[in-house]
Amino acid sequence: MRKILENQNDLELEIENAIESKSKARILKLNFSAFNKYIIPKSIGSIPSLEELTFYSESLRPIYIEELPESIDNLSNLKVLHIYDCQLEYLPESIGTLKNLEEPE
């Protein structure tokens, strides 16, 4: 079981840890608490090595993410984007510039 992100501060810290990772994070799986609303920080675009990004919750309730930031277009190596049981208010147009995204099998 991965760490459950209970609030916005937990989310920002998890992304900051991935940015600072010496191993150049390739996979980031964010397990959210279903009891809060989240805004994915712009800093997520500062992980250019990222190949897989997953948003999910192990609870039975959907999570609420206000938006994915425009900076997501900086993730030029992103191949897989999973968003499970999530109410997403805003999907940026810049997501269309991610040319390496693969269709799920």
Nearest to 42, CA basis, from 13, 24, 69: 69
In a domain, 105, yes or no: no
Q: How many domains does the chain have?
A: 1
Is residue 30 a part of any domain in this protein?
Answer: yes
**Whether the Cβ atoms of residue 58 and residue 30 lie closer than 8 Å to each other:** no
- pLDDT tens for the chain, 105 residues: list them: 468 899 999 999 999 999 988 668 899 999 998 788 899 999 999 998 999 999 998 887 888 998 899 999 999 999 999 998 888 888 899 999 999 999 776
Q: In one letter, which amino acid is 71?
A: S
76, 98 Cβ separation under 8 angstroms: yes
Q: Residue 54 sits in which domain range?
A: 4-97
Q: Is residue 102 in some structural domain?
A: no
Residue 34 DSSP code: T
CATH assignment of the domain containing 24: 3.80.10.10
Could you tell me if residue 53 is inside a domain?
A: yes
Side chain identity at residue 77, one-letter code: N
Please check whether residue 104 lies inside any domain of the structure: no
pTM of the model: 0.88
Is residue 100 classed exposed, middle or buried when 0-12, 13-18 and 19+ CB atoms within 10 A define those classes?
A: exposed
